[in-house]
Amino acid sequence: MAETARSPLAIYQAHLDKGELAYQWSPAAGRAVFYPRVVCPYSGNTELEWRISKGLGTVYATTVTHPVQGTPYNIVLVDCDEGFRLMSRVEEIDPMAVKIGMRVRFRVHPAEGEQPAYPVFVPAEGA
C-alpha cells in the first residue's frame, strides 16, 4: 500500500516496527512536525515529507512517577536534534539519575501483547 493511502499514525508505527524514529518535515514552514499529522500546524499546508531521525536528543524536562505497585520510572520530554520534541522515558538508568540537559539516544521498546512498539531513550555514550 502506498504511504499516501495510509494514515500518518500507521506510517509512523511502521517505521517504529522497523526500529526507526520517523518524523515529518514541512517544506512550507521549514521545520519538523511531530506528532505525525495530515496538515502542518505551522503553515496549514498538507505537503509533509517523512524523514528518519538520527536518534539523538537532549532531555528538556524530566519527572519520576512512583506507582502504587511496581518500580518508579521517569517521564521525559526530549528535544531531538532534528528540531522536534517528544514525550518518552529514559531506560537503563536509575530514574532519579536522569537530568535536564542529558544527551540521549533513541531505541525502540518492542511490542508486547496488545502494546505496539514505542520510542524510548537510553543515555548517549559519553554523556
pLDDT in tens, 86-114: 999 999 999 999 999 999 999 999 888 88
Domains and CATH numbers, the chain: 1-52 (no CATH), 54-127 (2.40.50)
Please state the pTM of the whole predicted model.
0.88
Rg (CA), the chain: 16
Q: How many CB atoms lie within 10 A of CB 43?
A: 16
User: What does the pLDDT average to over 60-65?
Assistant: 97
pLDDT in tens, 3-54: 556 899 999 999 999 999 999 999 999 999 999 999 999 999 999 999 999 9
